[in-house]
Amino acid sequence: MAEHISELEIRNFRGFDQLRAENLGQFNLIVGDNNVGKTSFLEALLFDKDLKNWLTNLYAGLYYRGARIDDGEMGNLDSYFHDRNIKKIECKVKDGAGEAQNLRLEVLLSSGLSKTELDQLIVKNIGKNPFKYSAIQYRNDKKTDIQFIPVAGSGAVYVPYLANNNVFGFDLIKYYSENIQRRKSLKDELIQNLSALIPNLENIEISGSSEGDTFLLTLKDEEDARIINQYGEGTIKLLRVLLEVYICREKRIMIDEFGSGIHYSRLGRFYELILDSCEKNSVQFFATTHSKECIEAFVVAIKGLHLESKARILRLADTMSGVRMYTYTFEQFESALAADSEIR
């Protein structure tokens, strides 16, 4: 069963004392004023039932923001707490079947752990001295796991979050090798999707060079193959998002400033390819944007794929009582767009 969520309530996270998002769909576009918390909401969606994964995801969020994560204390993890005097994040989640689960992450001094808990952590982290801080996870008020901060060996965990500056990286080689290269159906699908931006694309392989591994593209009407780096940022971004969609099959993916860096003439096709891939792979899509062109491209792609019933627009707004989330169905949002209402 797909791990999609229909509702999220987060407390004491970033700029949110409390934020509730209801009636979520499979395809969710997040809009709102600058600095209202769109990126923070994506980071809130990085919660995980596994404490080690949750911590790793949060550290990834810090990395993408350019924050230092090796400051000898808890790696700026406390910047996630709305009230830094209360070092815990509470997360209430409801899945597509309506079943609710309460998750809580608490940070405390390792000296505050019981001797049994500390001994268990030292055994799990053999060869390492106890860290100053630890994290505890509760599920429905039951303690389920404890980890030292920073969490050891966290780099092996995939993080389903694409920052605005994610374009080409050697992680793409790993994603392709592990998820696509040996699966003919997925490889054919990837080639077909990329053909929208690279006409006559015939094959894609990994090729080594003096500068490191990269992708080698074979075109039907050309003798010499090309490397992916010869193409524009939009093509490489499409490749990255498609590869990460395959990794996130039946889960969720979060993309910050989706569509930025893509020429406006290609935005509609870009959105259509990604959303169609999410639909085929049962991926729940969350993306932020502040661009009216991106919003319009999302609307056109949803209509072209007949996914209106699964689409939502989530608008974050700063109110007298704090930041609130408003959920629009596709029909409600399209009406507002047609009336030229301010929806960004």
314-339 pLDDT tens trace: 999 999 988 999 999 999 888 877 66
Distance in angstroms (rounded) separating the CA atoms of residues 311 and 304: 12
Residue 189 within any structural domain of the chain:
no
DSSP string, 155-212: GGS---EE-TT--S-THHHHHHHHHTTT-HHHHHHHHHHHTTTSTTEEEEEEE--TT-
- Provide the residue range defining the domain that includes 148: 47-156
Report the pLDDT value the prediction gives residue 82, as an integer from 0 to 100: 95
Decide: 246 and 273 in contact? Cβ < 8 Å: no
Percentage above 90 pLDDT, the chain: 51
Position 113 in a domain: yes
CA distance 307 to 303: 6
The single-letter DSSP state of residue 283 is: -
Residue 27, pLDDT above cutoff 90: yes
On the question of pLDDT at 231 being above 90, the answer is no
Task: Note whether residue 329 is domain-resident.
Answer: no
Mean pLDDT for the chain overall: 87
Q: Could you give the CA distance from residue 50 to residue 332 in angstroms, rounded to a whole number? A: 36
Task: Please tell me the total number of residues recorded for the chain in this structure.
Answer: 344
Q: What domain count does the chain have?
A: 1
Of 87-101, 149-163, 226-240, 271-285, the least confident: 149-163
Is 52 domain-assigned? Answer: yes
- Specify the pLDDT at position 304: 95
Is 204 among the domain residues?
no
Contact indicator for 323, 330 with CB cutoff of 8 Å: no
Is 320 inside any structural domain? no
294: tokens are 């991106």
pLDDT average, residue stretch 58-64? 87
Mean pLDDT for 159-174 is 80
Q: Percent of the chain beyond pLDDT 70?
A: 90
